[in-house]
């Protein structure tokens, strides 16, 4: 099966993690485009600015919790407001170094978050996510 390259977004303020994630994505060739934002506000503004242009929007978002300006949970509050106007489905994974059960439970209570992944995201996990996305978009 030919893999469909996706528009992938990372919302995370950790520059070292951004670098490692970008390298992993480039090696796997899963992304036709990689969008990186250092906080939730930058990302939500991008979504709003491109809401009518589905091809520019991410297919999948990897979202950190702890960031300046707008954290991952605040991003989700804003995303839920604009979601009805977004021209395509976006799969969201919360990816955090937090192992606090309260964070995990809070993320699991948000129906728009597909899963909670502890950082760093492993290549095998990323491959599983891409396979799931391909099934979702090819059905």
What does each C-alpha distance from 101 to 78, 81, 87, 109 come to in angstroms?
23, 26, 33, 12
d(CA 109, CA 35): 26
Confidence of residue 24 (pLDDT cuts 50, 70, 90): confident
The answer to the question of residue 23 being in a domain is: yes
Q: Which CA distances in Å does 92 have to 1, 2, 17, 22? A: 24, 23, 18, 17
Indicate the pTM of the whole model. 0.92
CB contact set of 23 (below 8 Å; sequence gap of 6+): none
Using pLDDT thresholds of 50, 70 and 90, give the confidence band for residue 1.
very low
Summarised one tens digit per residue, pLDDT across range 12-23 is: 999 999 999 999
Report the alpha-carbon distance of residue 128 to residue 111 in Å, rounded.
20
User: Scanning the structure block, which residue is given the tokens 């978009």?
Assistant: 137
How high is the pLDDT of residue 101?
A: 94
136: in domain = no
Q: In the chain, how many domains are there?
A: 1
Answer whether residue 133 is part of any domain: no
* Mean pLDDT (whole number) for 25-54: 92
**CATH number where 106 lies:** 3.40.50.2300
Q: Which domain holds residue 74?
A: 10-121
The answer to whether position 132 is within a domain reads no
């Amino acid at each position: 099966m030919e893999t469909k390259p996706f528009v992938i977004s990372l919302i995370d303020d950790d520059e070292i993690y951004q670098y490692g994630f970008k390298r992993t994505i480039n090696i796997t060739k899963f992304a036709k485009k990689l969008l990186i934002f250092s906080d939730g506000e930058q990302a939500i503004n991008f979504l709003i600015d491109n809401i009518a242009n589905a091809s520019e929007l991410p297919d999948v978002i990897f979202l950190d919790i702890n960031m300046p300006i707008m954290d991952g949970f605040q991003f989700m509050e804003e995303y839920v407001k604009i979601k009805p106007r977004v021209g395509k489905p976006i799969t969201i994974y919360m990816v955090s170094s937090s192992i606090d059960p309260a964070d995990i439970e809070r993320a699991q209570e948000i129906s728009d978050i597909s899963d909670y992944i502890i950082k760093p995201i492993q290549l095998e996990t990323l491959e599983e996510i891409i396979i799931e996305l391909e099934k979702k978009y090819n059905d």
